[in-house]
Chains A and B, each alone.
Chain A
Amino acid sequence: MLGLGILKGLSVTLRHLVDTYLSDLRRFPRRYAPQGRARRLHPTERGIFTVQYPEERLEMFPRFRGALMQLVNPETAIPKCTGCGICARSCPVGVIEVVRAEEKRGGQYVPQSYTWDLSSCLFCGLCVESCPFGALHHTPEYELSSYGRKMGELIYDLDRLLAWGQEYAPDGVPPVEKEK
């Protein structure tokens, strides 16, 4: 009553103000620590909480549902994808288009073309979930914005997805499965 509650509230915000300076002092002289995020997100940590994006980047969890990638069988160097199109059918918005190649390669079907239209993708992961061959996976890639919506900008083809596969899972094992 009579302003005591207001004073209490004021003390809370003041404490936050002071805490940010204290946490700065503790990290002095580094303002943006690349590994600062783990500490900052620690539940008992007080002080500055935000991540200064270009300087500090969040490390994605292995399950993070970022851009799609196509894996390659490391022994045969042939894409694991057989172009069966189950992913395309499981997609609620139909952003995947697969055409199976006429000829087999190394004893398996391969896709002739595979396009992923980012512009209306939900990133729900149902395609990855439905892939019977474990060929399709998520990358931790999230900086996907672009100035156009053409092929290579918001529409990705097989080569791009395979390149991501090489980058994030060169041994043919996606990050999710390395979790344990």
Chain B
Amino acid sequence: MQRMETGLRTETITVNMGPQHPSTHGVFRMIVTLDGETIVDLEPVMGYLHRCQEKIGERNTYLQNIPYTDRLDYICSMSNNMAYVMAVEKLAQIEVPERAEYIRIIMVELTRIVNHMLAIGALLNDLGCFFTPMLYGLRERERILDLFEMASGSRMMCNYMRFGGVRYDLPPSFMAELKSVVAALPAFIDEFERLLTENEIVLVRCRGVGVLPPEKAIAYSCTGPLLRASGVDYDIRKVDSYSIYERFDFDVPLGRNGDVYDRYLVRIGEMRQSLRILEQAIEGIPEGEISVKLPRVFKPPEGDVYHRIESPKGELGFYLVSDGSTNPYRYKIRSPTFINLTVLPELCKGHKVADVVAILGSIDIVLGEVDR
């Protein structure tokens, strides 16, 4: 406005942020129109990592899809496993033994901690912290990944869950290791908070940036920490109380303003709540069977089901259509971050270039899941 009064002719410039850019968390592109440093318009472009997993899923048998779900959101393979496996169990009406349910919940909640550590670390990297919070997060993540490796044989691509249970029982030393990790994690989260929560630069960079009002968050189908930071109390673990979540006592951290800082706080809060669930799960885990016996050639009955879980990034759902054969007729992945990205242009308009990366970091995308 002021510029027009001075009579200077100004032009907007269009910048391609990505696909090769340090803070797009992979190959993601934003076509940004800038007026000076202010964002006038932003258009996300994706698909650089597209593998058409849904088509591959139709080619594979039901069991063969499990390792592919690992590679959706490659940070949280356990929760992807769980969503898919539960969808198939719903389709074929398989009962899961209690011990397996507990094992699954332990793994999924550990995954949530892993994911939030990385999300916060990456967010701080985008804000310009020279990798320090990121590496602190990675260090704790490593301890959890060791637990995954101990149980499933792989750190990231766990491929651990099976229809009607899990692949292996927990190894003998697992519970002891888990207990010591869970006991040590609160101190780490406290340290993380000391490093970041009150840091003035973090505050000025995050507060009031990328504000997402609750009505808009719902309208844009946002889920996960992004939604809850806007103050909408919607956690599928509570709403659907799938698996055995109704047995655990935990809170849903909510934000007030829906800005980047609240998303950070919600993630920190969720890590603490996950630890609470883990403690209860460690207490309550029973002995017993870890899976049900299924026929070698697994053919679920005809029909279609949709099952969703609260993955660390939001609502992860699988829509399966079965025609009674060994392969799914349709295998659809409702990935949380792909849909959360819908709101990105709305969040970014009017902010500065530096805020775009912060907002993108706070949405916490993984391109494996966005592009599938």
Interfacial residues, chain A to chain B (CB-CB below 8 A): 1-6, 8-9, 11-13, 16, 41-44, 49, 61-65, 90-92, 122-126, 129-130, 138, 176, 179-180
Contact = CB atoms under 8 A, between A and B. Distances in A.
A41 B143 contact: yes
**Considering the complex of A and B, which 6 residue pairs feature the smallest CB-CB distances, nearest first?**
A43-B184, A5-B198, A124-B67, A92-B64, A63-B153, A65-B153
Identify the interface centre among A5, A64, A129: most chain B CB within 10 Å of its CB.
A5
Contact of B159 (A16, A62, A124, A180): A124
Contacts of A11: 194
B157 A123 contact: yes
Given A13-B195, A92-B67, 13 more contacts: A5-B197, A5-B200, A9-B194, A9-B196, A9-B199, A43-B184, A63-B152, A123-B157, A124-B70, A124-B159, A125-B159, A130-B296, A179-B171
A63 B132 contact: no
Majority SS at the chain B contact face = helix
Contacts of A41: 142-143, 146
Interface of B: 60, 63-68, 70, 132, 136, 139, 142-143, 146, 149-154, 157, 159, 167-168, 171-172, 180-181, 183-185, 191, 194-203, 296
A63 B146 CA distance: 12
Contacts of B202: 5
Nearest to B65: A92
19 contacts: A5-B197, A5-B199, A5-B200, A5-B203, A8-B195, A8-B199, A9-B196, A9-B198, A13-B195, A43-B180, A61-B149, A61-B171, A64-B149, A92-B65, A92-B67, A124-B157, A126-B64, A138-B153, A176-B168
Contacts of B198: 4-5, 8-9
B168 A63 contact: yes
A6 B200 contact: yes
Contacts of A62: 171
Identify the interface centre among A8, A9, A62, A129: most chain B CB within 10 Å of its CB.
A9
A147 B172 CA distance: 39
Majority SS at the chain A contact face = loop
A138 B70 CA distance: 19
Nearest to B168: A63
A92 B68 contact: yes
Contact of B195 (A3, A12, A124): A12
A138 B153 CA distance: 9
Given A6-B201, A61-B149, A126-B67, A12 B171 contact: no
A43 B183 contact: yes
Identify the interface centre among A61, A62, A125: most chain B CB within 10 Å of its CB.
A61
Nearest to A13: B132
A8 B194 contact: yes
A44 B184 contact: yes
Contacts of A42: 180
B129 to A, nearest CB: 9
Contact of B172 (A1, A90, A180): A180
Nearest to B63: A126
Identify the interface centre among A49, A90, A138: most chain B CB within 10 Å of its CB.
A49
Given A124-B67, A124-B159, A126-B67, A9 B149 contact: no
A142 B201 CA distance: 43
Contact of B167 (A16, A129, A179): A129
Contacts of B181: 43
Contacts of A12: 191, 194-195
A6 B154 CA distance: 38
A63 B151 contact: yes
Contacts of A129: 167
Contacts of A9: 194-196, 198-199
B200 A125 contact: no
Nearest to B188: A43
Nearest to A132: B296
Contacts of A126: 63-64, 67, 159
Contact of A179 (B64, B172, B199): B172
A46 B66 CA distance: 37
Nearest to A179: B171
A42 B202 CA distance: 30
A134 to B, nearest CB: 15
A75 to B, nearest CB: 27
B153 A61 contact: yes
A63 B64 contact: no
B294 to A, nearest CB: 12
A138 B154 CA distance: 11
A16 B194 CA distance: 13
Contacts of A64: 149, 153-154
Contact of B64 (A2, A90, A180): A90
A49 B154 CA distance: 20
Contacts of B171: 61-63, 179
